[in-house]
Amino acid sequence: MESEHADASSNQAGPSREGWHTVSMRIPFLNHQHATIAKRALEVDKEQHPGLIHRTIEVENEAVVVHYACATVRLLRLSTNSFFSSVDLVVRTLEAFAPDPDRPDPTDEELEEQRRLANSAQTKGIELRGDGKGAGSGEEVR
């Protein structure tokens, strides 16, 4: 991530961005499809002060590239912090619903072994016991 002042010679539509503060970020994903999904999800949130904040989002190979230009350093910090929160949500959602295709799904035996090991630990965590007949069939034991 790099931060610098925008130069006046750039051909950007709208008001002059001379003296604006900029940052560029490159966020890698597992593949081009995941990067495209992330871009589409991140584009939905528009900037609250479009006259003072300019953001572009592009997909390059397997990465999302984001460029910010803001009138003040404070706006740049607030905008990028908010953006990173959105990126975190998108990444966690992709991990849950679009996992790495190169990582095989665990077998039932592997999941059962993980459950057995987790439940054998002497912790005060939550133990789930089920009858094996589907989601919601277990009871929570504290």
Q: Which domains does the chain possess?
A: 2-97 (3.30.310.50)
Contacts 24+ apart (CB under 8 A), 75-82: 75/49, 76/3, 76/21, 76/22, 76/23, 79/47, 79/53, 79/55, 80/23, 80/25, 82/45
Q: Is the pLDDT of residue 142 over 60?
A: no
pLDDT at 29: 93
pLDDT at 45: 86
Task: Kindly state the helix (H) or strand (E) to which residue 65 belongs, with its residue range.
Answer: strand 63-70
pLDDT tens profile 53-105? 999 999 999 999 999 999 999 999 999 999 999 999 999 999 888 877 777 77
pLDDT tens profile 3-40? 444 443 344 455 577 889 999 999 999 999 999 999 99
pLDDT at 47: 83
For the ranges 3-17, 35-49, 128-142, the maximum mean pLDDT occurs at: 35-49
Instruction: Report CA-CA distances (Å) from 67 to 16, 37, 38, 41, 116.
Output: 16, 18, 15, 16, 47
